[in-house]
Amino acid sequence: MKLLGLFFLSFTLLFLCPFISQADVPERSREPPRPIVFVHNDRSKFDPQQVHVSLAGKDHMRVTFITEDNKVESVVEYGKQPGKYDGKATGECTSYKYIFYKSGKIHHVKIGPLQPNTTYYYRCGGNGPEFSFKTPPSTFPVEFAIVGDLGQTEWTAATLSQIKSQDYDVFLLPGDLSYADTSQPLWDSFGRLVEPLASQRPWMVTEGNHEIEFFPIFEHTTFKSYNARWLMPHTESLSDSNLYYSFDVAGVHTVMLGSYTDFDSDSDQYQWLQADLAKVDRKTTPWVVVLLHAPWYNTNEAHEGEGESMRVAMECLLFSARVDVVFSGHVHAYERFKRVYNNKADPCGPIYITIGDGGNREGLALSFKKPPSPLSEYRESSFGHGRLKVMDGKRAHWSWHRNNDSNSLLADEVWLESLSTSSSCWPSSRSSDEL
């Protein structure tokens, strides 16, 4: 298995050409990509590894872990005190094959009901180390850490360290997780790399192009690894696909969309999104946030126009629902736009933010188009991460923190006002009770 793993890793690094454009920003020196961090398993075959938690419907969390031994049960014991477990749940398991690779036993266990803003201690599979997580609060304030195109390089490790240094409630990742690109051992390494964070706070992710993993002749099932390892609450949000779903935290409704599955008006995703947004009560849920991978608005030369067909198909739904913010990845840089609709500034449109700067092995997208678009408020080719702190039903603070090697430097920030509070953005025929 180790030899096969090395084969897949070598194949990926040799034949997958990273995108690194020529520098277009002379005022700052840009750091080059850094080596991959491969994390080996140092536990027994019976012990859980690659542990991560995710939200799974109201008052519930899903614990996901992998064991090399197939006889380990899909159980999680949990409680509010270390070593004392008064709750126990049994879940489901799966595994998959990818050419010559065979995964370990992947366990998904849904636990709850859980109390909000509470630390729980838990053990997976009846064996191994104890972990802990904190549930998100049920009321404001609530804080999201957000970063896309994470990968597993030395830059990634620095970004994760900086995120962990300041507490948050939920981690949001708009696609491109492991950059395994068919080299399946990199999925295992990524799970071990993020476990210290992902086992303590819910990680909510959506897929990117690097999760597709189509391999001509040998493997035609797309998203096989991603769907097996990162089960999200699509069933709980009435979605038929793990590639798009939604969830609620405090007064924030978050929608995770799929850039690489059908999205036209006849598609299941479009119909689901339309129904999902229609159910949001903006009086009890004043904030609506959307994440997707390929940006709809982008002034970088990298991936220019790749999100345009999805924008044309779906932008009207987001605008009609008065979505507050749209986060995307894909472009390895940071950019924040004004409120926009149909390529024009519009006070009732979402703010669009590209944050595909987690630390991936392909490096930064360095070439922004000139002159700058009047719609673009701030743009920079640096690694980093963002934080959205929703203070109450009206105000939220967005900040972007540049990854300056071992330090995290605040580089951009702005206060946001929820569109739910803007009477001018809602048709006069609708009463405030309908908002």
Active site residues: 303
Q: Residue 370 carries which DSSP code? A: S
Number of alpha carbons in the 13 Å side-chain half-sphere of residue 316? 7
How many C-beta atoms lie closer than 10 Å to residue 18's C-beta? 12
* Token output for 293: 């991978």
Answer positive or negative: Cα dihedral of 97, 98, 104, 110.
negative
The SS3 call for residue 61 is strand
The owner of tokens 């188009």 is 369
Dihedral sign for Cα atoms in the order 254, 383, 308, 179: negative
CA distance linking residue 69 with residue 30, whole number of Å: 44
Q: Which of 135, 143, 153, 180 is nearest to 13 (CA)?
A: 180
Q: Which residue has the tokens 């957000």?
A: 146
Closest by CA position to 293, among listed 283, 281, 303, 282: 303
303: Cβ contacts below 8 Å, ≥ 6 apart:
294, 295, 330, 331, 365
> Pick from 273, 272, 112: which is nearest to 202 by CA?
112
Peptide bond into 18 cis (omega under 30): no
Residue partners of 430: CB distance under 8 A and separation at least 6: none
* Helix (H/G/I), strand (E/B), else coil: 121: strand
Burial 354-385 (b: 16+ CB within 10 A, else e): bbbbbbbbbbbbbbbeeeebeebbebbbbbbb
Amino acid identity at 107: H
DSSP letter at 356 equals -
